[in-house]
Amino acid sequence: MNAAKVVEDLQRRFPNEPEYIQAVSQVLGTIEEEYNKHPEFEKTNLVERLCIPDRVISFRVTWVNDKGEVKTNFGYRIQHNNVIGPYKGGIRFHSSVNLGILKFLAFEQTFKNSLTTLPMGGAKGGSDFSPRGKSDGEVMRFCQAFMNELYRHIGPDVDVPAGDIGVGGREVAYMFGQYKKLTHEWSGVFTGKGREFGGSLIRPEATGYGDVYFLQEMLKTKNDTVAGKTVLISGAGNVAQYACEKCIQLGAKVLTMSDSDGYIYDPDGIDRAKLDYIMELKNVERGRIKEYVEEYPTAVYHAGEKPWNEKADIALPCATQNEINGDAAKALVANGVIAVAEGANMPSTPEAVKTFQDAKILYSPGKASNAGGVAVSGLEMSQNSERLSWTAEEVDKKLHDIMVNIHENCVKYGTEADGYVNYVKGANVAGFMKVAKAMMAQGIY
């Protein structure tokens, strides 16, 4: 395989999908050497079969808003690869959603799920519907309309969706309810469900906690810990909130959180009480992060900006893709950042990744450090299958063990000659090899 040639070819075939090309390019660039040690891969054109999704489902979603107006959005489900388990991955509702973004997410999910060691294939879905500013009734009607189409393509042993941006416990519950109504069947077809109906304890916390567990492992390689560190977090949603919670528990000082309109900087640190305020603001009132400074006037709100110019020891990007560009990465490095652990999917541009790696700081890609969310989704599937639920302590311990294991695999496959751990390479090679072996075993179809 010549990675550059494959990417060039995909770019020609899918010219309007830059995020998909970006994700493929990063993976192929780092697995090329390993891939070429296995001539049997090339003989069966494994690379092309791996990059192009098994199936792309697209559909129209029509719903009625509170004013009685008829609205139309599009819906997608990308079933990327199911060689190691049922298709598995979140659903994103955001105005920016398009085919290329969902294809990049489904592609990444395949390797991430492989890294968890649990039997899950890769998928992603979503819509350009934005829950922002919508009433609860509108969100419910949209979720039901979305499920009226999607239900025929999913199932507990076929494809198991979950949340992502704009899809949390509320949306999962509405979609699950509609699936049940349409199929006349209760099954573990979704993860991230409410605790009363099969949801796993620690699933809401899992991505953020897992990100910080991974960060702890990275710091351990330098005989360092999270305690006492200053932290920049972007986002104020599910991942950001629980990354913040774990940082607070471990004695770090979180200085920032953000949303798509701007960020807040709190020089005194976001403590437990302040985080409780943010959780209420975002999850119940569905407000904006700028309201934080009305409650805590010593904090400052920066409209239209991202937090990366602030000085801190650690950065946890937990909002969205490409939120750290080359300049932002240079600013972080110049300000002495020692570790970047991605909570979001592909939040760093290729220039940013290069900047972190050239500076030899600890840097982990989302598919490694945010895998805790889907890992606990896998544990939710197990609990649903055996009709049991495990305690929070049990699930948290399994999550912790999985994150430690992913870190070990990154070190195993990503350590370079000078001892620097290239976590991107480590995660990609480890994730890829398992999928590749399963694909080879299952033949050409």
| Residue 166 binds which entry of ligand NDP, ligand 2IT, none, CB below 5-8 Å type-dependent | ligand NDP
Q: Which residues are catalytic?
A: 124
Exposure string for 139-159, b = 16+ CB within 10 A, e = fewer = bbbbbbbbbbbbbebbbbeeb
> Counting contacts by CB under 6 A, is residue 239 touching ligand NDP?
yes
Residue 191 or 384 having the CB closest to ligand 2IT: 191
Name the residue whose CB lies closest to ligand NDP.
Answer: 237
Instruction: Check binding of 81 to ligand NDP (CB under 6 A).
Output: no
Distance CA 253, CA 267 (A): 9
Residue nearest to ligand 2IT (CB): 90
Q: CB of 323 within 8 A of CB of 234?
A: yes
What is the contact surface with ligand 2IT in residues (CB under 6 A)? 88-90, 109, 112, 162, 164, 191, 345, 373-374, 377
> 300-303 and 262-265 as β-strands: parallel, antiparallel, unpaired?
antiparallel
Q: Binds 235, which of ligand 2IT, ligand NDP, none (CB < 5 to 8 A, cut-off by type)?
A: ligand NDP
Q: Among ligand 2IT, ligand NDP, none, what does residue 89 contact (CB within 5–8 Å per kind)?
A: ligand 2IT
CA 168 to chain centre: 13
Q: How far apart are CA 408 and CA 414, in angstroms?
A: 10
Q: Please say which residue, 53 or 343, places its beta carbon nearer to ligand NDP.
A: 343
Q: Which does 332 bind (CB under 5 to 8 A by kind): ligand 2IT, ligand NDP, none?
A: none
- From the list 120, 318, 328, 375, which residue makes contact with ligand NDP (rule: CB under 6 A)? 318
- Cα 66 to the center of its chain, rounded Å: 32
Question: Which tokens is 17 given?
Answer: 């999908």
Q: How many residues does the chain have?
A: 445
Residue 217 dihedral angles phi and psi, to the nearest 5°: -65, -40
Per-residue contact flags (x/-) with ligand NDP for residues 91 to 120, judged by CB under 6 A:
---x-x------------------------
The Cα 275–Cα 307 span in angstroms is: 17
Q: Which does 88 bind (CB under 5 to 8 A by kind): ligand NDP, ligand 2IT, none?
A: ligand 2IT
Torsion of CA 226, 230, 232, 238, to 10 degrees: 50
> Quick one: CA torsion of 116, 205, 346, 334, rounded to 10 degrees?
-120
Say how far apart CA 393 and CA 397 lie, in whole Å: 6
Interface with ligand NDP, residue 166, by CB under 6 A: yes
Shortest Cβ 355–ligand NDP spacing (Å): 20
Part in contact with ligand NDP (CB under 6 A); list of ranges 224-232, 255-263, 292-300, 410-418: 255-263
> Which positions lie near ligand NDP, rule CB under 6 A?
94, 96, 163-166, 168, 207, 235-240, 259-261, 318-320, 343-345, 370, 373
